[in-house]
Amino acid sequence: MSAEIKAGPTEASDPGGVPQKRKAALRRFFDAATISVMPIYAFTLLFVVGPLVYMFILSFLKRAETWGVLREFTWSNYTNILKPVYLKTFYESLKLAFFTTFFVALVGYPFGYFMARLSATWKRRMMLLLMIPFWTSSLIRLYGWIIIFRANGTLDKILMGLGITQAPLKLLYTYSAVVVGMIYALVPFMIFAVYSSAEKLDWQLVEAARDLGATPWQAFITVSFRLTLPGLLSGVVLTFIPSMGLFFIADILGGNKVILVGNLIQEQLMKARNWPFAAALSVVLMILTSIMIALYRKVSGVKDLEGLV
Amino acid sequence: MSDIILELSQIEKSFGDVRVLNGIDLSVRKGEFITLLGPSGCGKTTTLRIIAGLETPDSGRVFLAGKDVTDLEPNKRNVNTVFQNYALFPHMNVESNIAYSLKLKKVDKQTIAKTVKEALELVQLSGYEKRMPDELSGGQRQRVAIARAIVNQPAVLLLDEPLGALDLQLRHQMQIELKRLQKRLGVTFIYITHDQEEALNMSDRIAVMRDGKFEQIGTPAQVYDNPRTSYVARFVGSANLISGTAYNMGDGLIRLETDYGLGVARTRGAQISDGQAITVAVRRESVNLVTQETPDNLGLRAVVKEKHYAGGVLQIIVSLSDGRELVCSRQGIDSPLKPGDHVLVTWLPDQGVIVDLEAAG
């Protein structure tokens, strides 16, 4: 529409050329800005939209006896999910995700909030400290937790050395180990999300609240917390969604005892070679996470996830 | 004195190595409109924050209605602030912003609704209850901030450059409104500004601040007509400062001998000895430029340098023999003088004020 409006005045000055509308459209198509973003569109189409469509189609096909899939339509992959054993996996995953998110918020919110109150130099230092672990592969960092958690490992040695416990805790390959691993992996995202929102908080508003008679706690609840809530909510989304799919944490720290949707998908894809079922599970997981994001948008009224950019 | 509502006693404050307040004393009467006037960085905002309780002084005491409140939390002081950038809660509408302090006090709903309505009427914003702060203009936000601060009926209302962000026209209008509001409410106002005109227009008393100290405290007329120091003379009246040697002429008059000629001033009771080096402040509008010789050889020899109009006022800048400049201003009439003309700068004895006497002594 804007192109038509733009073309209006030039039409009068340049009569009898190529139809102006087409010329404008062509110009728009070939202008530098459009061309420069083309690779991004191509990339997205090829590597994001393409696989998603492929996965969606796959989830309605039948599994072949030996290798790959049969080109026959079926609902059975979805009805399969309704079996109690798989429903339980979804339930367990959601439970773990809630747990993880709760603890991540408990640790990450105050951390991010107070980090935003530091001086510029200390902010930079804290940011660096938070970034350093990301320079190492997350898998290797998880193996670090094995050393800490295993029987007579670092944690046991410290606790027994201090006389707090008498025997090894045998934390490795338990639910607790998985929760700790999840919190460890996801807490930075919460911190960044809360931090970016707390950084924008005008401290004068808190002073105004105190001036108008609020105690420090009342000022925090009615002003600071309320205004950093979008950050917390986006942190919740950024934690909850990955915690549904971080199968390798449950794998490495939980042994085979904790099976999550992520593990199930991986198992169906790699071991059972049931691609259509793995695809159906992925589609359901995606729908669940989309609902989460939709809920978040509704609650916070914010369109972009803070801390993501 | 029982009508003193606020008293500051020997307040000192430093931030790191920077000494912001240097032992200030101030007594404010109930219902008074007092302005702290000074350039940015002189410590006026820090003074206000100490009164509000948002900052703790390193030493000195703050008394509110006779009670020592120095160590009291801001929420326990019967003082409210109108912040420089209004600090309206962006997530609350106008009504909730104004009702904030009342809700904290658990005032019942009917009383809150009534008080909010009255406050909005007072600041002429009736009907704006449901608007969000970002849907208001600068002037409207200003009014909401004032309404929010007065519903609590504070003993003292602190205003930190409340008109600084408004355009000139609105600022003039709000000056009048604020003054009227203050008279109507009878609330003590402590008002911060760096705008001398604003201070002169609105205040009962002005406290001129410089480098963490009060340079002079007095009524607008006292501060304007009788500046005690060259700093006050320059900051409040944009006065010309002329230095020279004093000789008593009797009748409370002194003769000022300078390198450029003779001037006069009144001693106003000050003891000036013959030969003492003094500075005399003469306001721009008190300066006369004459082309003929004067009786008694009075006047400083100068050359007209430039003329320009500034908002209906003609300013003539003349330069003395050593290049120093003096400014003479006249209400909107042109002058036959042109650049290059030789003139004598004169003023009436009453309009020459001797400044910096204490600083010299």
pLDDT at B337: 86
User: Is the CB of B75 less than 8 angstroms away from the CB of A213?
Assistant: yes
Question: Contact at 8 Å (CB) between A81 and A280?
Answer: yes
Do A69 and A90 sit in the same domain of this protein? no
Q: Kindly state whether residue A308 falls inside one of the protein's structural domains.
A: no
Do A112 and A222 sit in the same domain of this protein? yes
Residue B64 clears pLDDT 60, i.e. is over it? yes
B115: Cα within 13 Å, side-chain hemisphere: 21
Residue B179 clears pLDDT 80, i.e. is over it? yes
Residue A130 clears pLDDT 60, i.e. is over it? yes
Distance from CA of B74 to the nearest CA of A (A): 5
Do A64 and A102 sit in the same domain of this protein? no
Cα-Cα-Cα-Cα torsion B222, B225, B226, B231, nearest 10 degrees, comes to 100
Q: Kindly state whether residue A136 falls inside one of the protein's structural domains.
A: yes
Phi and psi torsions of B151, nearest 5°: -65, -25
Do A210 and A261 sit in the same domain of this protein? yes
Which of A208, A218, A223 has its CB closest to that of B83? A208
CB-CB neighbours of A130 under 10 Å: 17
Question: Contact at 8 Å (CB) between B34 and B204?
Answer: yes
Phi and psi torsions of A70, nearest 5°: -95, 145
The pair of structure tokens assigned to B254 is 């002194």
Phi and psi torsions of A244, nearest 5°: -80, -25
Q: For residues B59 and B76, what is the distance between their CA atoms, to the nearest angstrom?
A: 20
Please say whether the dihedral angle defined by the alpha carbons of residues B267, B271, B276 and B277, taken in this order, is positive or negative. negative
B313's CB contacts (< 8 A; 6+ apart) are: B329, B330, B331, B332
Domain count, chain A: 2
What digits encode the pLDDT tens for the residues A260-275?
888 888 888 888 888 9
Residue B4 clears pLDDT 70, i.e. is over it? yes
User: Is the CB of B152 less than 8 angstroms away from the CB of A212?
Assistant: yes
pLDDT at A108: 95
* Residue A76 touches chain B, beta carbons under 8 Å: no
**B11-15, B39-43, B284-288, B333-337: range with lowest mean pLDDT:** B333-337
Residue A11 clears pLDDT 50, i.e. is over it? no
Give contacts of A 194-253 with B, CB under 8 A: 202, 204-205, 207-215, 218, 222-223, 226-227
Question: Contact at 8 Å (CB) between A232 and A109?
Answer: yes
pLDDT at A270: 86
What digits encode the pLDDT tens for the residues A191-243?
999 999 999 999 999 999 999 999 999 999 999 999 998 899 889 988 988 88
Do A51 and A120 sit in the same domain of this protein? no
Beta strand B188-193 with B33-37: parallel, antiparallel or unpaired? Answer: parallel
Which of B91, B104, B149 has its CB closest to that of A227? B91
**Going from the N-terminus, what domains does chain B have, and what CATH number goes with each?**
4-230 (3.40.50.300), 231-360 (2.40.50.140)
What digits encode the pLDDT tens for the residues A59-83?
999 888 777 788 888 899 999 899 9
Do A206 and A236 sit in the same domain of this protein? yes
pLDDT level of residue B52 (50, 70, 90 thresholds): very high
Written as one letter, the residue type at B167 is D
CB-CB neighbours of B216 under 10 Å: 22
Q: Kindly state whether residue A158 falls inside one of the protein's structural domains.
A: yes
Contact list, A218 vs chain B (CB under 8 Å): 104
Domain with residue A184: its CATH number is 1.10.3720.10
pLDDT at B28: 95
Closest-approach residue (CA) in chain B for A229: B91
pLDDT at A302: 52
Residue B36 clears pLDDT 80, i.e. is over it? yes
Q: Kindly state whether residue A14 falls inside one of the protein's structural domains.
A: yes
pLDDT more than 90, % of chain B: 65
What digits encode the pLDDT tens for the residues A151-197?
778 888 888 888 887 777 777 888 888 889 999 999 999 999 999 99
What digits encode the pLDDT tens for the residues B197-210?
899 999 999 999 99
Q: For residues B307 and B315, what is the distance between their CA atoms, to the nearest angstrom?
A: 6
Contact list, B152 vs chain A (CB under 8 Å): 212-213
Residue ending a domain, among A42, A73, A104, is: A73
Q: For residues B230 and B323, what is the distance between their CA atoms, to the nearest angstrom?
A: 20
User: Which of B48, B49, B91, B160 to probe the A interface (max A CBs under 10 A)?
Assistant: B91
pLDDT level of residue A18 (50, 70, 90 thresholds): low
pLDDT at A223: 93
pLDDT at B32: 94
Distance from CA of A203 to the nearest CA of B (A): 9
Contact list, A223 vs chain B (CB under 8 Å): 89
Per-chain mean pLDDT for chain B: 90
User: Is the CB of A210 less than 8 angstroms away from the CB of B75?
Assistant: yes
Do A264 and A247 sit in the same domain of this protein? yes
Residue B12 clears pLDDT 90, i.e. is over it? yes
SS3 string of chain B? CCCEEEEEEEEEEEECCEEEEEEEEEEEECCCEEEEECCCCCCHHHHHHHHHCCCCCCEEEEEECCEECCCCCHHHCCEEEECCCCCCCCCCCHHHHHHHHHHHCCCCHHHHHHHHHHHHHHCCCCCCCCCCHHHCCHHHHHHHHHHHHHCCCCCEEEEECCCCCCCHHHHHHHHHHHHHHHHHHCCEEEEEECCHHHHHHHCCEEEEEECCEEEEEECHHHHHHCCCCHHHHHHHHCCEEEEEEEEEEECCEEEEECCCEEEEEECCCCCCCCCEEEEEEECHHHCEEECCCCHHHEEEEEEEEEEEEECCEEEEEEEECCCCEEEEEEECCCCCCCCCCEEEEECCHHHCEEECHHHHC
**B25-39, B70-84, B285-299: range with lowest mean pLDDT:** B285-299
Helix crossing, A226-245 with A275-300: angle to 10°?
Answer: 180
Residue A307 clears pLDDT 90, i.e. is over it? no
The pair of structure tokens assigned to A66 is 């030996």
Do A143 and A258 sit in the same domain of this protein? yes
Do A39 and A111 sit in the same domain of this protein? no
User: Is the CB of A223 less than 8 angstroms away from the CB of B89?
Assistant: yes
Q: Kindly state whether residue A196 falls inside one of the protein's structural domains.
A: yes
Do A59 and A185 sit in the same domain of this protein? no
Contact list, A226 vs chain B (CB under 8 Å): 91
pLDDT at A17: 52
Residue ending a domain, among A14, A46, A73, is: A73
Q: Kindly state whether residue A305 falls inside one of the protein's structural domains.
A: no
User: Is the CB of A213 less than 8 angstroms away from the CB of B90?
Assistant: no
pLDDT at B133: 94
User: Which of B45, B48, B51, B54 to probe the A interface (max A CBs under 10 A)?
Assistant: B54
Residue B295 clears pLDDT 70, i.e. is over it? yes
Domain that includes residue A85, residue range: 80-300
Cα-Cα-Cα-Cα torsion A160, A162, A163, A167, nearest 10 degrees, comes to -10
Question: Contact at 8 Å (CB) between B138 and B130?
Answer: no
User: Is the CB of B152 less than 8 angstroms away from the CB of A218?
Assistant: no
Residue ending a domain, among A73, A104, A124, is: A73
Closest-approach residue (CA) in chain B for A204: B87
Q: Kindly state whether residue A143 falls inside one of the protein's structural domains.
A: yes
pLDDT at A72: 85
Residue A14 clears pLDDT 50, i.e. is over it? no
Do A203 and A285 sit in the same domain of this protein? yes
Q: Kindly state whether residue A128 falls inside one of the protein's structural domains.
A: yes
The pair of structure tokens assigned to B249 is 């002429």
| Average confidence (pLDDT) over B283-311 | 86
Can you give the pTM of this predicted structure? Answer: 0.78
| Average confidence (pLDDT) over A92-112 | 92
pLDDT level of residue A303 (50, 70, 90 thresholds): very low
pLDDT at A9: 41
Do A65 and A206 sit in the same domain of this protein? no
**A252-256, A301-305, B55-59: range with lowest mean pLDDT:** A301-305
Q: For residues A222 and B132, what is the distance between their CA atoms, to the nearest angstrom?
A: 16
